[in-house]
Structure 1
Amino acid sequence: MYLVRGREYLAKHPHFSLVGREHDLERISSILIRRSSNSLLLTGPTGVGVSALTLGLQAAKTFPDTPFDLIVKKLFWLNTDALFASGDSSKINNEFQGILKKLMQTPESVLIITDTANFLEGAHNTGNSHFINALNNADKSNNFQVILEVRDEKLSSVLKASTNMAELYTLYDVKEPMGSDLKAIVTAVAKELSEHHKIEVDSAAVDEAIHLTSKYRDSLGLGGAQPQRAISLLDRALASYRQFTHKQHPVITELTYQIAKTTDEAKRHQLQSQLTQWQNDWQDLKAEISKTYQYQRDAETLRFTLQDEISVLQEEEKNNIVPESAAVKTFAQLTSSGFDSPAVSKIKEKIRQIDKEIEQNNVRHNQLVMLANKDLRLMRHEVIAEFSKISGISANKLDENEVENLINLETNLLSRIFGQDSVVKHVANSVKVAKVDTLDESGPAVSYLFLGPSGVGKTEMAKALAQYVYGDEKSLVRFDMSEYMEKHAVAKLIGAPPGYEGFEAGGILTNSVRKKPVGIYLFDEIEKAHPDVFNIFLQVLSDGRLTDNVGRTVDFSDIMIIMTSNIGQPYYLNPELSDESARELATNELNNTYRSELLNRFNGRENILHFKRLPIEVIEKIIRREITKLNKSYQARGLAINMQDSCISAFCQDHYDLIRGARGLPGYIKTNIRPIIVNHILLNPHDQGHFNAVYNRESHKFDITFSKH
């Protein structure tokens, strides 16, 4: 009752097949045949397929090439809902002890608990908090093994449940599948989705679903991890496509479009005739499908009614039975012993006839649906359209060619980063190498150390890369290293050791990378971090991996790392030093501050990049860009801001400050010009016209007047 045998559990998933997880299955199998620590704690983010792996263990037992070491394992799934259903603490405890006894008496048995956090909670709520210790004590006997499945966010609470978890269980972190493995999994599930929706799925649609859900990881409502994200997107796209095309067939839409654009009268007449025929046939087909739907509902309703009648008749017949002491049994007594009365038999015959008609109707219904769907196929653009609805990102942007984006990367970066042309060129080329070159190298995708004065484009470069490489500035994750000045900062990044406060929270950096393993990570002002933090950085830059406080390895191989430092600021800000001299002095200070092994990790120091001071003409260019942004944002309201080049030049000369860099001037516009515009809009919401901004050299402010169109 409480233990479900493996083959019975697998039978509940008749179409199950494990693909793309051969390596994980092999690793898990090898753990199960160890002598010690041979129980498993399987963890991973929601949607990654932890439960599929244990099902895969059972399925693999029927494969001809599966080692007999695995075949002899007897897998049992614990039915936790049934175990805790009564709420009776004593009864539940007795049943659980019976489960453990049966497992210990069954050689090579393996107990699988699919939701360990739920199991622990159920045990606690029924007064059986000792269950985890009882389970572990039984496990120590080596008479059976345990596989605990637990979602990432619940892992810490499970580890805290017992002091000997680490001793008994091997933690196996199920990571998101990638590349060909991910493609194989999603393709297999796409076939199941196709059968459900009765619509074919094009291979390009599968590729696009994988691409979008890997690139834009922060979009809501698609599950926690791959492959679930891509599968969910395909399911949604099929549902939307099915609903849309079943309203009006795509052929009708296309014929309507062709009629609208043709100028040839004969051709128009021919198309119109085809359209009329299609519309009539389509309406007839939909009517037939609706008829089979209606029949199905009516037949099932009648069936339930007849079953209720049988129950009533049987109850009446039972109540009419004469006492057992009677010498002769009545017909009702005979029917109560296993024979149906004529009335009940007649109704059951009706039900059998209805079941037969329902089956025939189902066949007819499926034939009609297949006929309606025979020309339908989910294509790439339908997947893009669905993702656009979910994410809010325009379909045109989603449809951008990634190769074209890389080709235009330098041009795009130059449109946002002014006065740093050599840095932009270097960054664009190194990103292209990281994204296209197939040479297998350790470490993150690419790593940079940006030096230079404040407000010259270092952070803007990180934002621009997030936009043009990953499609969204949300792909940028920023860490202010002034928050990691204390010795315990390492624990904040990778998680506190067991027994220390904050252990269950995990590490801020490792948690973030597990959740978002693709994108840009910006570590600002690294010189403010505690020296111990640089041991973490050294490992990430060297190996591209980091192990958190509970033993999970986090992969940085698809992450771009950008670090910034204020080292050399006095040299960069000294107007008497040339750019080359400032760079040389800053480099000397950098070498005296950090270990060579750390600096060498930035592509042999080639990716230690120096941002120059910005000349006044570049500052003027930045202000023109800000005014253009404002005009674009107010264009829909019929408003514009006019500012002459002479006013921009005078304003920049008066207000530019080397220490604040380019940040100060856009800040001035936000504080002193935009409020005037906003206040005017609030008081005069229907006005259309332009604001004339004239710089006053005496007051060092802008005089702003409004003119209506």
Structure 2
Amino acid sequence: MLAQREAKLFGKKDVGTEQLLLGLIAEERNGEGFLGSGVTIDRAREALKNLLQESNQTFVTSDKQASEIPFSSGSKRVFEAALEQSKKMGHNYITPEHIALALFTVDDGGATKILDKLGLKTQKLQAESIVRLQGELAKDGRTPPPAMSLPAKSGATAASSSKRPGRKEKGALNDFCVDLTLRASDGKIDPVIGRDSEVQRVVQILARRTKNNPILLGEPGVGKTAIAEGLAIRIASGNVPEFLTGKRVMSLDMGLLLAGAKERGELESRVTSLIEETRKAGNVILLIDEVHTLVGSGSVGGRGGNNGAGLDIANLLKPALARGELQCIGATTLDEHRKHIEKDKALARRFQPVIVNEPSQEDAVKILLGIRDRYEEYHKCRITQEAVDAAVYLSSRYIADRYLPDKAIDLIDEAGSRARIDAFKRRKEERVSILSKTPSEYWQAIRAVQAAQEAAFVPQSALGDSEYLIESAANTLPKAVDIDQESVSLPVNELMEGSVIVGPSEIAAVTSMWSGIPIEQLTSDEQLKLINLEKLLQTRVVGQDDAVNAISRAVRRARVGLKDPSRPIAAMLFCGPTGVGKTELTKALAQHFFGAEDAMIRLDMSEYMERHTVSKLIGSPPGYVGYGEGGTLTEAVRKRPFTVILLDEIEKAHPDIFNMLLQIFEDGRLTDSQGRVVSFRNSLLIMTSNVGSSAIARGGSGKIGFSFAEGGDEDYTNLKGLVMDELKNFFRPELLNRIDEVVVFRSLEKAQVRAIVDMMLAETKERLAKRGINLEVSEAAVKLVCDEGYDKAYGARPLRRAVTRIIEDAVSESLLSSHYSEGDTALLDLDASGNPVVVQHSKPDRCDHGLCVQVRAPVSVASS
């Protein structure tokens, strides 16, 4: 027991009432101290030490175990009195409050001396103990008996205690609520725009005789709380019917209400006090944001349910709501209302729903314009009309998992902070550069400022003397050189201070940072990359110009903003024989445009052949293993919406997967197992298939081996028609009709094999270069690889095996059998029997043997 520990600390032979008091004080773990007095155990110990020193007593910590120290006769009388107190009050247990009441009644004088030393009054502590015990009975739904009334001697003290400064004396309304009407009167609430119909609906419900409690339902960020704030603004301005005149909208802070309520019954006591004060005030409308948190809060059985022995806050509010003594405005989301409020029918029927929909883009622009000046004042910047329009448009298009106007407001807010920080860094750099300027450079800066002033129609007399000119020039030199049209129209003082302007480019930069989608203006490097995208892709994919051109056109349309915003960037189907570069082209696109090959989401559809595997894409349904973990496809796109999705060998997938693809191709969205909508509007979907390979192999005349690549565009059109016939036999018409383009890959010709071999040898050379060894391959060896690796039916994959067998195996054996130093060269040639052989050349290299050529970088090879 804590009292025995205190007795051991002070070296006492038994536990007296002094140590019993210290144990009760140590038991209090909330921030308000012993019974709300603010006294902590450290202060109490210091007071006892001072009393012992005043009486010339010394103490030494006892060697006994704390549990071995007995209780004094005075302490035993306290426990007996506490038992009597518990019986009188109808309790079947003893709490620290019972012991405190008994200690104040039968104290032998030791505890009273400590309380006097601390400046505490026994009557106040008794009153606080009784309040807590009353809360325990309220928790059980019982009325306190007369034995729990305050003692008569504490009446005068109770009157004086109301004057004591502190949180409890202010009342529950002031402790746990914020007066929105008062904040509206002080101008601390942003104006509410475009919600007149919803505010009017709330006023109508408040005017009802019974069940006059509106509950605002809507998605997060649509402005539910703002509607209640709009009502507070109307009340503060007097723009309400007479029955609302003088009313106060008080917002309940659930965090404050629950914080520190560790003792049994303390939370229930707070709620009952809140209800009682609201009833007595008569002019209070209670706003409960996140009203679903009331259900289960305070239950002994846990916050999430109502299985415990105690009542939750919602059950305490129900009687007051039913009698009309308490008028509330609730606010919560539709999902939380369905999960918590609707299940409690008694609570649900006491509230009248008001649906708050997401505002349109036009209304969102009006909302942002209404609050623009608040953000301009805070960030010390100017937000243009174009920035507001861009925030609404870009957030609606690229941030699909949030709602207007919240996401547009956040864009404006962060763009303002970003611009302000950039301006601070810029001004700091300008001030530092002043020290390195020569007098002639100062005068050049002055002339630049004078030119800017003339452009802004500022008279010369307003510029002041030369010293002011020099200081102004130092602060505004970069802006004076390149001043835009918006800056010209600014007032003189803003121009001189280098006013921070937030425009569409700043909004686009923040949107790009949030979503990972490149939205900002095209740079010259990116423009060049997009123009030459075909050439970049052809460095890795040979002989497939039709496919390269099709995918490049789709990417350019998306990047300049001409694609349909409600659909993916493109949905393409790559058909052709194996090994011709279908998957390689997708990897090349991910590397050159999306940043890296890791930006590609690759799904091998052979893993989704069974019906039960279909759910892996969007997540397992409730009751199945993996529920709540998200789907393979949906989670990947949620984390990286700007990506290329490769569905490899789509013909092997289960037919149910095609049903999901219909929605993605048409609407650019998919709902996962948890009800979250995932946007595919910034993704490029590519499916590869071997359907149609037989048509490519047969050719138009039906003879095996006929090559369409040897013909012109007419032959390729005929080939594509044959492939489409096979696709129609395999895929359903509604799927094929939603695919943007079906690209037929041509078979590889022997003329294209050399370029592919060069690419493979370049990769081998790069791996050897990491070990500091160069590689040279003779023309004869390269020709051997091309001859043995070429197989029209299997494409480039046999070439990979030939490179491995002829080149890499021979080099590996040479590296193991010979001692190579950094900088040496391995020369691979053919011996008299036509077998590969490797000759080591020590540095410096000698390339005058005339037998081989150094492996060169791959070049683009156009199909014949």
TM-score after normalising by structure 2: 0.50
Q: Which runs of 5+ in 2 are unaligned?
A: 1-174, 206-210, 400-405, 448-465, 476-492, 699-703, 709-715, 846-864
Match of 1:289 in 2: none
Give a deviation string over 1:623-667, Cα, whole Å, max 9, x none: 434555777899999876544555434323333556764356568
State yes or no: 1:616 paired with 2:793: no
Match of 2:570 in 1: 446
Give a deviation string over 1:599-624, Cα, whole Å, max 9, x none: 11114xxx121112222333332343
Q: Give the count of matched residue pairs.
A: 582
Contact 1:202-1:378 within 8 A present in 2 as well: yes
Q: How does 1:561-576 map to 2 (within 5 A)?
A: 561-569=685-693, 572=696, 576=705
State yes or no: 1:148 paired with 2:332: yes
CA distance in 1, matches of 2:470, 2:681: 55
Structure 1 residues 586 and 375: CA distance shift in structure 2, 3 A: closer
Structure with larger RCO (C-alpha < 8 A, sep 6+):
1
CA distance in 1, matches of 2:374, 2:191: 11
> Residue 332 of structure 2: SS of its match in structure 1?
strand
Match of 2:843 in 1: 707
CA distance in 1, matches of 2:330, 2:355: 13
Among 707, 715, 732, the alignment partner of 1:578 is 707
Match of 2:265 in 1: 90
Structure 1 residues 270 and 392: CA distance shift in structure 2, 3 A: farther
CA distance in 2, matches of 1:464, 1:179: 38
Contact 2:419-2:500 within 8 A present in 1 as well: no
CA distance in 1, matches of 2:617, 2:354: 20
CA shift for structure 1 position 526? 1.9
Structure 1 residues 146 and 422: CA distance shift in structure 2, 3 A: same
Give a deviation string over 1:327-353, Cα, whole Å, max 9, x none: xxxxxxxxxxxxxxxxxxxxxxxxxxx
Match of 1:597 in 2: 734
CA distance in 2, matches of 1:556, 1:215: 11
Give a deviation string over 1:488-525, Cα, whole Å, max 9, x none: 34433334444555443344433444444443322222
Structure 1 residues 270 and 389: CA distance shift in structure 2, 3 A: farther
> Residue 646 of structure 2: SS of its match in structure 1?
strand
Structure 1 residues 675 and 228: CA distance shift in structure 2, 3 A: farther
> Residue 738 of structure 2: SS of its match in structure 1?
coil
Match of 2:112 in 1: none
State yes or no: 1:654 paired with 2:765: no
Structure 1 residues 439 and 215: CA distance shift in structure 2, 3 A: closer
Match of 1:246 in 2: 428
Q: How does 1:127-166 map to 2 (within 5 A)?
A: 127-130=302-305, 146-148=330-332, 164=343
Match of 2:858 in 1: none
Contact 1:651-1:695 within 8 A present in 2 as well: no
CA distance in 1, matches of 2:331, 2:343: 15
Match of 1:56 in 2: 226
Give a deviation string over 1:50-91, Cα, whole Å, max 9, x none: 457344334544589xx999x999976542321221234533
Q: Which runs of 5+ in 1 are unaligned?
A: 44-49, 218-223, 260-265, 287-368
> Residue 456 of structure 1: SS of its match in structure 2?
coil
CA shift for structure 1 position 425? 2.1
Q: How does 1:425-440 map to 2 (within 5 A)?
A: 425-434=549-558, 436=560
> Residue 564 of structure 1: SS of its match in structure 2?
strand
> Residue 417 of structure 1: SS of its match in structure 2?
coil
Give a deviation string over 1:110-165, Cα, whole Å, max 9, x none: 53129x89x99986899443369967888999986643369xxxx89x98778949
Which piece of structure 1 moves more, 531-540 or 615-624? 615-624
CA distance in 1, matches of 2:556, 2:538: 16
Among 475, 480, 484, the alignment partner of 2:604 is 480
State yes or no: 1:111 paired with 2:284: no
> Residue 542 of structure 1: SS of its match in structure 2?
helix
Output the amino acid matched with 1:53.
G
Contact 1:249-1:282 within 8 A present in 2 as well: no
Q: How does 1:272-351 map to 2 (within 5 A)?
A: none
Cα root mean square deviation, aligned = 6.6
> Residue 539 of structure 1: SS of its match in structure 2?
helix
> Residue 586 of structure 2: SS of its match in structure 1?
helix
Match of 1:334 in 2: none
> Residue 478 of structure 1: SS of its match in structure 2?
strand
> Residue 579 of structure 2: SS of its match in structure 1?
coil
Give a deviation string over 1:385-428, Cα, whole Å, max 9, x none: 9999999999x998346555544443443344321112222333
Among 242, 246, 253, the alignment partner of 1:79 is 253
Output the amino acid matched with 2:265.
S
CA distance in 2, matches of 1:421, 1:497: 44
CA shift for structure 1 position 598? 1.1
Q: How does 1:402-551 map to 2 (within 5 A)?
A: 405-434=529-558, 436=560, 443-467=567-591, 469-471=593-595, 473-551=597-675
Contact 2:192-2:227 within 8 A present in 1 as well: no
CA distance in 2, matches of 1:205, 1:684: 66
Identity of aligned residues (%): 26
CA distance in 2, matches of 1:110, 1:667: 73
State yes or no: 1:399 paired with 2:523: yes
Structure 1 residues 148 and 450: CA distance shift in structure 2, 3 A: same
> Residue 571 of structure 2: SS of its match in structure 1?
strand
Structure 1 residues 81 and 392: CA distance shift in structure 2, 3 A: closer
> Residue 541 of structure 2: SS of its match in structure 1?
coil
Output the amino acid matched with 1:80.
M
Output the amino acid matched with 2:652.
K
CA shift for structure 1 position 179? 9.2
Give a deviation string over 1:505-563, Cα, whole Å, max 9, x none: 34443344444444332222222222222111112223333333344444333332222
Structure 1 residues 652 and 135: CA distance shift in structure 2, 3 A: farther
Contact 1:76-1:112 within 8 A present in 2 as well: no
Which piece of structure 1 moves more, 525-534 or 440-449? 440-449
